[in-house]
Structure 1
Amino acid sequence: MHEFRNVLIRLRAGDRDREIARLGLMGRVKVAQFRVLALSMGWLEPSAALPDVPTFAQSLAPKPKRAASTVSKAQPWREAVTRWMAAGVEGKAIHAALVREHQFQGSYSSVYRLMQDIAQELPRTDLTVRLSFKPGEAAQVDFGAGPFLMHPDGQMRRTWAFVMTLCHSRHQYLEFVWDQTVATWLGCHRRAFEWFNGVPERVIIDNAKCAIIKACRFDPQVQRSYAECAEGYDFKIDPCPPHDPQKKGIVESGVKYVKGNFLATREFRDLAELNAQAKTWVLHEAGLRTHGTTRQQPLALFALEQPFLKPLPAQVPDLGVWHPVTPHRDCHVKFEHVMYSAPFALVGKALWLRANDGCVALYEGYVLVATHPRGQRKGQRVTTPDHLPPQAQWFFGRDRQWLDEQASEVGPHCQQVIDWLLSDKIVERLRAAQGVIGLTKTYGHSRLEAACHRAMAHGSPYYRTVKTILSTNADQLPMPQTSTDAVYTKTRFARDAASLFADPDARTHSHTNSHTHPHHPQQDLLH
């Protein structure tokens, strides 16, 4: 603006346009135009002060010319449109309001042009400030979509890139996984901290379900498993406010860099090869590049940042996954398609299930109520017998082994009856054997042994025979010497127990006859 100031001084001194042009300060036509402006502004008055630079700039600025065709038809309602825009009303709604309330005949494009013109006059609201972080202060975490690969189940599935970036050095940990479950989330954190050989003071995340149960700007609810991880590794969880991903822009840029630089030009056979190439890329390419923001290599800055990270805990934390469960009426809860038993008294109540790599534990509030080894296959049932109701424990506890043990305690003849019942090749006589052993509660061991002896002596080792002998006190009578004794005149059995067990065919024949005759053997006893 100094040439206009010099020309103004010459004009106020009385120099003519040609003289000023001859000095080379400005062309004659331009001097004449400036003289007209100076006269209109009163700058040529001897008593007027010389204008300053901003006044010169404002006066000499060219007036923009706009074609009439670019002027919006909605210009008469500019004030109303400005008010609506300040209130956050969208363009389609503004156009509809103009048509409804002011009988506007123009198109939406005319309203859009007016809104663009008004937006240049309104104050900017999308301003931002770049965050800076001290060494070891924070890391940012995010998931990004990876390539499709063949899953072990034989189907093509998408992979997901887990990226953790240290905010100061921009050094990152990159791992591709099949899902975004809580167990995967926790495992990636463990391997990332081991990769950095340290833990940052806080981890900045978004509101993924594997980390945050309920997103909130002021009071977010952290997933119980992730809170346990943060306590074990001694870091703070810093979730971003909802709909505000700019708070973790460092890792957002890192995910874009992975997609555009690493994934764009490579091919992978499987997940193992993908992760192997990813680690090589981080160490030999991404870590050695000159970062666009820091203007330094991430690995070089990481060498300075690493001492500021918190040391890893002496004992690796037990990272368990927590799930709310409710025991079904069969006294089991379901986790990853495996059934685990819970005490029958807790059926229908809300419990917490905690699963790690080796075991599954059930809690009622903070009280441990059950522990099981981790199931290895889908559909498996892991059951503790004490968790079942008493009647079920009674049913499952009286198996063949238990019957054999109880019969051996009663005596050899009872053992023979139980063995004969359990060795039947046609009918399952487990309940009959349980019934025979159950008679000890009423009659005791000695009487049951005597009744079994008498039943075997007449080749009728059945539950009904043993019970009839006991109920009629026949076990207390002396044993007959022959099968024709008066006490057994109506019996149809001529073989004794020894011959019955010595000849398997005879046993089968006797068993068959017991079903083909219209009268049961024990009906002919003790008339």
Structure 2
Amino acid sequence: MARRRFEMHHYRQALLRMRQGDSDREIATARVMGRPKAAQWRQIAADRGWLDPAQPLPEDEAIAEALGAPRRASSTISTLEQHREQIGHWIEQGVSGTAIHAALKRQGGWSGSYSAVRRLVADIRRQLPPEVTCRLEFEPGEAAQVDFGAGPMLVHPDGQPRRAWAFVMTLCASRHQYVEFVWDQTVATWLGCHRRAFEWFAGTPRRVIIDNAKCAITRACAQEPTVQRAYAECAEGYGFKIDPCPPHDPQKKGIVEAGVKYVKGNFLPLRNFRDLADLNAQARTWVMTEAGMRCHGTTRRTPLALFELEQPLLQALPAQAPDLGTWHRVSVHRDCHVQFDRILYSTPFTLVGKTLWLRATDSVVALFEDYRHVATHPRGRNPGQRVSVREHLPPEAQAFFGRDRAWCAEQAERIGPACAALIEQLLSDHILERLRAAQGVLALLKPYGRTRLEAACARAMAHGSAHYRTVKTILATGADQRTDLPAATPPGYGRTRFTRPATELFADLTPNPQQDLLH
């Protein structure tokens, strides 16, 4: 009994037996305390008159004062006592004992053992105020906690091995989980996982407790964090409140932290997965058949049994699922387009050089100048694709792109058949692209009119010169307005003695079948 620790009730019980007349041997036989300890305690009680049965029993404070402060097990002074203050600072910073031992040997030339460091560290930690915590309790349907955890390495669709990430949402009251493995932790993935989790639970909790991931919180702060704009829209659409944990305090969402560890320790080991789809299929089966049917260590109930009670208390899903989109800041380039996800989208040319807000969903991309809607495009699918609206271009560019081959042919038909034939010949050139020449010919309609342009085209076609310059020269010189007469033959070129038609000149060369037979 030399190493026995005596509590206050031991001293009170021994004192009560002494007042009843028990000897030290009888007290030791009853295993209250040993004979030497009983003799010592009898002397202290006698000095203070506590052995008189007529007097009331002393209070615990009086007994503690009479016993005095407990003696320390050892009065040995540590060889590191001079370094106590420095070691205390290192302990506050979270430095381990082995690192402290190495630093003392490296910096101070100390040659003692690690055991001395360990004893001093333990003594310093005993004198520090203890860490106090309390368990958070949640009502059914009140809150859910969300976190990401590292998953297995799988082959990505691009053919390269990549790590998958486990998205886990746990209802705080029932401990029922939603588990989904994804390739990244982007805002779009974060929002999509929330939608599928709420559909899995067939309801929405009133509060979602998260950490400070960039996909949810843009600026972490214990008092006033800044929420990602897209996540705020998601919370508004589903009707839940976002409750981010203070920075560096993950214990505020300890339920889902334990849930992530449970997934990593009980689901992932000793399993094989073909791809991400197979991994998620196995995870859903595991949640419903194993994780949901276990006896939870805290609630002592199965999560699925408690979920049957919690599910009716969740908020109902909206009749129409919110249109979840991600927000991005983009700049308008000089070609009147912005770039998002390696795809270009057009904007009005008056916004060139400005910074806009782009909201992207799975199907559309919308552009906003502050809160003013600017344009909406169907979302492109192929990198390098240009999604453009002609009305967004400058007027001169709209005019150029609007005057294509079909437009030129249509305008030429309205002017006349000669113009249509000339334009068709220009556009049918197999070597040179002559669209600008055709546009130039049609541009002459404005200064010269339809009649003159048709006449000029007819004259150019008659001379076999279907060129823009020919038509322009004819109009500039007024040749289209002249009436052409047959050219007069000069008198000197009248009929002469030796002129005869070509038929007479080559008459002797006409083959004669009869002469061929004679020869």
- Asked if TM exceeds 0.5, the reply is yes
Report the residue type matching 1:377 in the other structure. N
How far, CA to CA, are the matches of 1:23 and 1:469 in structure 2? 139
Matched, 1:5 2:15: yes
- Count of aligned residue pairs for this structure pair: 471
Residue deviations 1:196-222, cap 9 Å, x none? 111110111111111111111111111
Question: Which sections of structure 2, spanning at least 5 residues, go unmatched?
Answer: 1-9, 490-519
After superposition, residues 192-207 of structure 1 pair within 5 angstroms as: 192-207=197-212
Where does residue 273 of structure 2 map in the other structure?
Answer: 268
Matched, 1:307 2:312: yes
How far, CA to CA, are the matches of 1:432 and 1:258 in structure 2? 71
Matched, 1:31 2:41: no
How far, CA to CA, are the matches of 1:33 and 1:132 in structure 2? 47
Where does residue 499 of structure 1 map in the other structure?
Answer: none
Query: Deviation at 1:309?
Result: 0.7
Report the residue type matching 1:117 in the other structure. D
Where does residue 165 of structure 1 map in the other structure?
Answer: 170
- Say which SS state the counterpart of residue 188 (structure 2) adopts: helix
Report the residue type matching 2:268 in the other structure. L
Residue deviations 1:278-327, cap 9 Å, x none? 11111111111111111111111111111111111111111111111111
After superposition, residues 406-425 of structure 1 pair within 5 angstroms as: 406-425=411-430
Report the residue type matching 2:310 in the other structure. E
How far, CA to CA, are the matches of 1:373 and 1:485 in structure 2? 70
Report the residue type matching 1:201 in the other structure. R
Residue deviations 1:454-492, cap 9 Å, x none? 1111111111110011111111112x366x589xxxxxx
> CA separation of 1:324/1:23 partners in 2, compared to 1, >3 Å: closer, same or farther?
closer
TM-score (norm 2): 0.82
Which of 115, 121, 124 matches 1:118? Answer: 124
Where does residue 322 of structure 2 map in the other structure?
Answer: 317
- Say which SS state the counterpart of residue 267 (structure 2) adopts: helix
Query: Deviation at 1:433?
Result: 1.0
Instruction: Kindly indicate whether the alpha-carbon contact (under 8 Å) linking 2:441 and 2:471 is maintained by their aligned counterparts in 1.
Output: yes
Query: Deviation at 1:90?
Result: 6.4
- Say which SS state the counterpart of residue 263 (structure 1) adopts: coil
Residue deviations 1:411-441, cap 9 Å, x none? 1111111111111122221111111111112
Which of 36, 43, 55 matches 2:46? Answer: 43
Where does residue 384 of structure 2 map in the other structure?
Answer: 379
Where does residue 232 of structure 2 map in the other structure?
Answer: 227
- Of 403-412 and 86-95, the range deviating more from structure 2: 86-95
Where does residue 516 of structure 2 map in the other structure?
Answer: none
> CA separation of 1:89/1:32 partners in 2, compared to 1, >3 Å: closer, same or farther?
closer
How far, CA to CA, are the matches of 1:235 and 1:330 in structure 2? 42
Instruction: Kindly indicate whether the alpha-carbon contact (under 8 Å) linking 1:403 and 1:433 is maintained by their aligned counterparts in 2.
Output: yes
Where does residue 65 of structure 1 map in the other structure?
Answer: 73
- Say which SS state the counterpart of residue 375 (structure 2) adopts: strand
Residue deviations 1:309-356, cap 9 Å, x none? 111111111111111111111111111111111111111111011111
After superposition, residues 419-498 of structure 1 pair within 5 angstroms as: 419-478=424-483, 480=484, 484=487
Report the residue type matching 1:222 in the other structure. V
Instruction: Kindly indicate whether the alpha-carbon contact (under 8 Å) linking 1:81 and 1:115 is maintained by their aligned counterparts in 2.
Output: no
- Of 386-395 and 148-157, the range deviating more from structure 2: 386-395
Which of 274, 279, 287 matches 1:282? Answer: 287
- Say which SS state the counterpart of residue 161 (structure 1) adopts: strand
Query: Deviation at 1:86?
Result: 10
> CA separation of 1:86/1:142 partners in 2, compared to 1, >3 Å: closer, same or farther?
closer
How far, CA to CA, are the matches of 2:387 and 2:462 in structure 1? 45
After superposition, residues 88-107 of structure 1 pair within 5 angstroms as: none
How far, CA to CA, are the matches of 2:306 and 2:334 in structure 1? 59
Which of 241, 244, 248 matches 2:246? Answer: 241
Report the residue type matching 1:391 in the other structure. E
Report the residue type matching 2:219 in the other structure. K
Which of 169, 177, 202 matches 2:182? Answer: 177
How far, CA to CA, are the matches of 1:359 and 1:428 in structure 2? 36
Instruction: Kindly indicate whether the alpha-carbon contact (under 8 Å) linking 2:18 and 2:51 is maintained by their aligned counterparts in 1.
Output: no
- Say which SS state the counterpart of residue 141 (structure 1) adopts: strand
- Say which SS state the counterpart of residue 192 (structure 2) adopts: helix
How far, CA to CA, are the matches of 1:466 and 1:170 in structure 2? 85
TM-score (norm 1): 0.81
Query: Deviation at 1:4?
Result: 3.8
Residue deviations 1:49-69, cap 9 Å, x none? 67666737984998453384x
How far, CA to CA, are the matches of 1:23 and 1:72 in structure 2? 39
- Of 389-398 and 193-202, the range deviating more from structure 2: 389-398
> CA separation of 1:94/1:452 partners in 2, compared to 1, >3 Å: closer, same or farther?
same
- Say which SS state the counterpart of residue 367 (structure 2) adopts: strand
> CA separation of 1:422/1:86 partners in 2, compared to 1, >3 Å: closer, same or farther?
closer
Instruction: Kindly indicate whether the alpha-carbon contact (under 8 Å) linking 1:161 and 1:176 is maintained by their aligned counterparts in 2.
Output: yes
Query: Deviation at 1:96?
Result: 12
How far, CA to CA, are the matches of 2:24 and 2:232 in structure 1? 81
- Of 376-385 and 48-57, the range deviating more from structure 2: 48-57
Matched, 1:208 2:218: no
How far, CA to CA, are the matches of 2:91 and 2:279 in structure 1? 49
Where does residue 507 of structure 2 map in the other structure?
Answer: none
Which of 404, 407, 424 matches 1:402? Answer: 407
Report the residue type matching 1:452 in the other structure. C
> CA separation of 1:47/1:249 partners in 2, compared to 1, >3 Å: closer, same or farther?
closer
Report the residue type matching 1:73 in the other structure. T
Instruction: Kindly indicate whether the alpha-carbon contact (under 8 Å) linking 1:213 and 1:223 is maintained by their aligned counterparts in 2.
Output: yes
Report the residue type matching 1:286 in the other structure. A
How far, CA to CA, are the matches of 1:144 and 1:22 in structure 2? 63
